[in-house]
Amino acid sequence: MQPTATVILKSGRDRSVRQRHPRLFAGAVKAIDGRPRDGDVVDVADNKGEWLARGVINQQAQIVVRLLTWERDEAIDEAFWRRRVQAAVERRRRDPALQHTDAVRWIFGESDGLPGVIADDYAGHLVVEISTLLAWRALPALVDALVGCVAPKEVVQRADDERLKHEFGGTVPRAVCDALAGQGPAEPVEIHERGLRFLVNLAGGQKTGFYLDQRENRARVAAYCKGAAVLNAFSYTGGFGLHALAGGATRVVNVDSSADALALAERNLLLNSGAQPGQRYECIEADVFALLRDLRAGDDRFDVVILDPPKFAHHPGQVDRAARAYKDLNRVGMGVVRPGGILATFSCSGVVDAALFQKIVFSAALEAGREARVIERLTQASDHPVLLSFPEAEYLKGLICHVE
Ligand code: SAH
């Protein structure tokens, strides 16, 4: 695709583009030279006309241009998409952390130079999830390139509906919905993570099916679970819980509000140990906040408590409310940790950064009347890298604390 227009920046608004930040916001634009249609390739120039970068325009969105290249000679064509996909796949093939699994995120959006594209591989079942107009336009080329690189058994295409809505001015066009709806195998597929087996529901699961971002952290937390009673709050399909059992836990309690997720958590136990849920491995369908309050009022205590809630803040305006929710959760969570036990607490809200999260956990400890020490700091798995020019890609943080 040839550029059909040049987007000219206001004076003084070229800095982030020069620093290779991949998002250009509408407020930085002085004028558009040409009459591009949404989805066209455009050049970006500073207010004196100096060429800076090239990307795809979408005037319906706040992020008016998604920047793709800072090389003037680089065309945005099929070969471009193929190069970006190949590079992303190659990086992961060289990554030692990804040798213990057949479930890998090959593409992580902007961090791989592909805004709005996620590609998760579940033992050969490839889920491609898109959240930008640009990704929608490039989808056939991207899928082609992925098929060429990783030779999947199957490709499932999905939309991140909430994000796509913003891209299409409020409503996702029918053609896009139809093309991306209701795909995926009816039966869950099986993946492997450090010798454990997990069923992943690609048709109706959360995220693209499994929380790949917590892969390393499941192993790190399991290392504290020898001989431990473990409360796995927000368990989803039992990821942390099964790793805890494999790490020698004597009791695991999974808690989630989703009956479907817990049904898989039970099937995952059977798959790994041949056992049925019972005293050693229970799944409780409940609201974690309510259950923790009940537990705290009684005298059931745990050696290890894992708190891995869903995203509480989606944008900066929600940070204060989210901070209160994290504080409440961690306060009641600490309340059921046996003195001398472990709290593994996470936040996947990108707008709550690691420093703020630590302060929140500190306030929770004060209010709970407990003394806590951070012994490990955790982040997202390496197939969710953080491109330094796009620090917003960092979203998952966790603390492992000793709680007295
Ligand atoms: N730790 C999991 C991922 C957790 S995702 C893993 O490693 O796979 C967050 C989970 O919280 C989801 O399964 C969702 O169903 C559940 N959830 C969200 N709100 C909840 C609530 N108030 N009480 C219980 N579970 C909740």
Tally of CB atoms within 10 A around 315:
9
Residue that has been written with the tokens 């940790």 in this structure = 337
What CATH class has 78-180?
A: alpha beta
Task: For the chain, list residues with pLDDT below 70.
Answer: 182, 205-207
pLDDT tens digits, one per residue of 59-107: 999 999 999 999 999 999 999 999 999 999 999 999 999 999 999 999 9
Tally of CB atoms within 10 A around 320:
10
H-state helical runs in 238-287: 239-246, 259-273
Closest protein CA for atom 12 of ligand 1: 236
Q: What does the alpha-carbon distance between residue 68 and residue 310 come to, in Å, rounded to a whole number?
A: 30
**Best mutation site among 206, 216, 234 for ligand 1 pocket (most ligand atoms within 8 Å of CB):** 234
Amino acid (one-letter) located at 348: C
Question: What secondary structure does DSSP assign to 12-48, as a single string?
Answer: T--HHHHTT-SEEEGGGEEEEES-PPTT-EEEEE-TT
Nearest 10 degrees: Cα torsion 4, 71, 109, 77: 50
Q: CATH 3.30.750.80 occupies which residues in the chain?
A: 78-180
Q: Are strands 154-159 and 41-45 parallel, antiparallel or unpaired?
A: unpaired
pLDDT score at 4: 92
Closest protein CA for atom 11 of ligand 1: 234
Q: CATH 2.30.130.10 occupies which residues in the chain?
A: 6-69
Q: How far is CA 149 from CA 85, 93, 116, 117, in A?
A: 8, 11, 19, 16
Amino acid (one-letter) located at 30: K
CATH numeric code, 6-69:
2.30.130.10
pLDDT score at 207: 65
Amino acid (one-letter) located at 199: L
CATH numeric code, 211-403:
3.40.50.150
pLDDT score at 182: 67
What does DSSP assign to residue 101?
A: B
Amino acid (one-letter) located at 146: L
Number of C-alpha atoms within 13 angstroms, CB side, residue 29? Answer: 20
Q: Which residues are catalytic?
A: 348
Contact 209, 120 (CB under 8 A): yes
| Among candidate residues 155, 204, 162, the one with its CA nearest the CA of residue 179 | 155
Q: CATH 3.40.50.150 occupies which residues in the chain?
A: 211-403
- Locate the ligand 1 atom nearest the alpha carbon of residue 306 and give its number: 1
- Ligand 1 pocket at CB < 6 A: 206, 211, 214, 234-237, 239-240, 256-258, 261, 287-289, 308, 310
pLDDT score at 59: 96
Rounded to the nearest whole angstrom, what is the distance from the C-alpha of residue 256 to the centroid of ligand 1?
5
pLDDT score at 301: 97
